[in-house]
Structure 1
């Protein structure tokens, strides 16, 4: 879908459909619609059309104009009650409106800035969120279908109409396009089946991103990982026939090679059987997206590259399967990690932390200004927070608060959980430095406490458990059912805004 800006008076606007918003049960329409209607659609004022429209959240009301009208259809979009206003409701409503245009095969949709008059947010923010919702709400993954494929690419054009100039237009369209491309990449990767999305495929995709944007790229195979002492990563990978890949990318604009980098780490388990501690068969197919942390990090790097962000950023993505082969690591094994610390394996289904601990330790050679890791780490996080909020833990309150502040208006919610020292008691081992799991208590916290052992307190670090947020079981408008790409928007904004010398 192409985005255009049209500047001019109301009579100059023409298209297949024009979109206006409304609040529920308000007698007077929003001011922009009230200005447009008398001159462009006076026939609306005297009929029952508007009275039939309640404007409930995401309610759509299509009205056909007379044959001589410049715009042949009006699409009214409900935002619900004014007291319940949120940008999330606005994104949802906009996505549903654009999808209705697709269903009707309407090629040119108009979205006037006048439609946003009277909404409780700045116009620039509303235009940005409308474009984001329109692009991402139309997302579909049809790459592997051979029949019943939806081929409509409507609307071909979304035109933002204004009566005056929009000085912010070039900037926000570049930003939104870049971030949406990153989210689409993350969604595609998390949706692809494990027989397609192998560690090697992830590495090839990452190499393509690096090549497009002039990033440094390296990949460690299992032999190199062994040489580096990555015992956790090697232990998980050794049970699979698919070659493991530890992906390293660096975005370093000219003149910044000495800048302390922001490091992003993503869990890349391309399929998780649980290993010897094998999972139940029910819903095991969903374990294809146990690599969503790595997908999010790679999507973020795609966006950062497109935006030429003036910040040094390093991405680490340990990618492997977790399989129950005869060579697989076993409960009771003791593994020496890259850091030199030893871990007693209690469950081979706690493999994510085993590969992440080596990545976090490996990252220390870059002397990070800050570090964030993302992982579908624990089912306990889904029980605690559901599927719309990610767990957030770490050693740096400012970093976590900034992530919450950035993420909320972008539709990405994070909730902090504690990392008190006493939680480590559940990880104590009789034969190693510590175990890889505790008992059933505080599973998400214990997982993060394990990772904390590999990060010095001097490095600001946040761990994001996206086990719930990575996948939507129902349609959420701008987030269709399936892979969400959760985290890309927040990470891009975080990297752009984080002061590498002073922090937040």
Structure 2
């Protein structure tokens, strides 16, 4: 779907369908839509169908105009009650409307800025969110299907129409293309099965992004990881016959070489059986998306590269499977990590922290980050605590955590902070090593982050984002169809873009 802007009088607007919004329990249209209807579709206000339209959230009423109408379809989209307004309601309603256009094979969708009259946000924000919702709400993954595949390429155009100039539109088109492209990449990678998205495939995607946008690219195999002392990563990887890959991509445009980089770390377990501490068979197939943290980092780098953001950004993605095997690491093993700290393995199913600790330690020693964010499907406890719409947020720097939370909320990515008090570490102490890789069952999300905290100096601002719940939508949310969400990409891109060198 392509973007286009049309500026001029109502009479210059043409398309196959036009969208307008309506509030529940309000009998009149806002001034802008009412003016368009008076001039271009006077028949609409007299339609008896309006009496049946309640304008509930995402409710859609479609009108067909008379023969020869410049715009043959008018679509009214409900926003619910005005008091319940949110950008999330707006995104959901817009996504469902554009998806309805796809079902009707509508090629050109008109999105008039006049439709935004009376909505409690700026035109720029609303146009951006509508475009994001339209592009992401049409997402489907059917690459591996051979039958019953719907291949509609409609709508072909999303036309932003206005009576006057919209100076923000060209940059907005560029931004939405870049960010939605990054999210779609993250969704593709997390949706595809583990025999398709292997550590090698993740490295290939990283190499493609680096080549396309002039980024530096490195990949370590298991021998190199051993040489660097990445004992946690090696321990998890040694049970798999699929070659492990520790991937590094650095975006460093000319003129920012001396910047301390923003470092993004993504957990890349391309399939997680639990290892020797094997998981139950039920729902194990979902463990193909245990690499969603790494996918989000790749999606972010894709968007950062397309936008050529003048900020040094480094992405580290330790990628491997976690498999049971004669050579797999075992409960009771003691592992020496990159930081030199020793870890007693209690559960091999706590593998995410074992690979992340080496990535965090390596990032600190090599890059001296301005700040560091890791994303990981780390704990089932996070799903129990926060559900599937809110990510857990923990770290050592209050300003960074606040910035992430405030950045994500208007973009539709929600984060909730959890504490990291020192006493949470007590149950992780070991008799034979510096500490264990799990504590008892209490506060699982917090103790997972407490483990990672041991590998990050207090002088390095760091945030840990547990996306175990948010990575996958079990039901259709409009702009997030059922399936992989691409959670984190929007927030990370905006975080990088808006960061000004200090927290």
TM-score, normalized by length of structure 1? 0.99
Q: SS at the partner of 2:278?
A: coil
1:275 aligned residue: 275
**Which whole-Å CA distance do the structure 1 matches of 2:69 and 2:238 have between them?**
68
Q: SS at the partner of 1:269?
A: strand
Q: SS at the partner of 2:102?
A: helix
Q: SS at the partner of 1:494?
A: helix
Q: How does 1:341-490 map to 2 (within 5 A)?
A: 341-364=341-364, 365-490=366-491
**Which whole-Å CA distance do the structure 2 matches of 1:47 and 1:321 have between them?**
60
**Which whole-Å CA distance do the structure 2 matches of 1:222 and 1:159 have between them?**
50
Q: SS at the partner of 2:171?
A: helix
Q: How does 1:71-150 map to 2 (within 5 A)?
A: 71-150=71-150
What is the aligned residue count?
Answer: 502
**Which whole-Å CA distance do the structure 1 matches of 2:123 and 2:241 have between them?**
53
RMSD of aligned Cα (Å):
0.6
**Which whole-Å CA distance do the structure 1 matches of 2:223 and 2:230 have between them?**
10
1:49 deviates by 2.6
1:291 deviates by 0.2
**Which whole-Å CA distance do the structure 2 matches of 1:346 and 1:493 have between them?**
38
Q: How does 1:160-179 map to 2 (within 5 A)?
A: 160-179=160-179
The answer to whether the 8 A contact 2:17-2:71 is kept is yes
Q: SS at the partner of 1:49?
A: helix
**Which whole-Å CA distance do the structure 1 matches of 2:427 and 2:28 have between them?**
60
1:117 deviates by 0.7
1:258 deviates by 1.5
1:499 deviates by 2.7
Q: SS at the partner of 2:76?
A: strand
**Which whole-Å CA distance do the structure 1 matches of 2:43 and 2:287 have between them?**
55
**Which whole-Å CA distance do the structure 2 matches of 1:282 and 1:29 have between them?**
51
**Which whole-Å CA distance do the structure 2 matches of 1:398 and 1:110 have between them?**
41
The answer to whether the 8 A contact 2:32-2:117 is kept is yes
1:308 aligned residue: 308
1:52 deviates by 1.9
The answer to whether the 8 A contact 2:44-2:63 is kept is no
**Which whole-Å CA distance do the structure 2 matches of 1:446 and 1:478 have between them?**
33
1:214 aligned residue: 214
**Which whole-Å CA distance do the structure 1 matches of 2:465 and 2:76 have between them?**
38
The answer to whether the 8 A contact 2:267-2:375 is kept is yes
Structure 1 residue 31 corresponds to structure 2 residue 31? yes
1:113 deviates by 0.2
1:50 deviates by 2.0
Q: SS at the partner of 1:50?
A: helix
**Which whole-Å CA distance do the structure 2 matches of 1:426 and 1:485 have between them?**
34
2:51 aligned residue: 51
Unaligned runs of 5+ in 1: none
Structure 1 residue 331 corresponds to structure 2 residue 359? no
1:483 deviates by 0.2
1:426 deviates by 1.2
Q: SS at the partner of 1:320?
A: strand
Runs of 4+ in 1 over 6 A off after TM superposition: none
2:244 aligned residue: 244
**Which whole-Å CA distance do the structure 2 matches of 1:46 and 1:499 have between them?**
54
1:157 aligned residue: 157
1:68 deviates by 2.5
Q: SS at the partner of 1:51?
A: helix
1:48 deviates by 1.4
2:492 aligned residue: 491
Deviates more, 1:11-20 or 1:193-202: 11-20
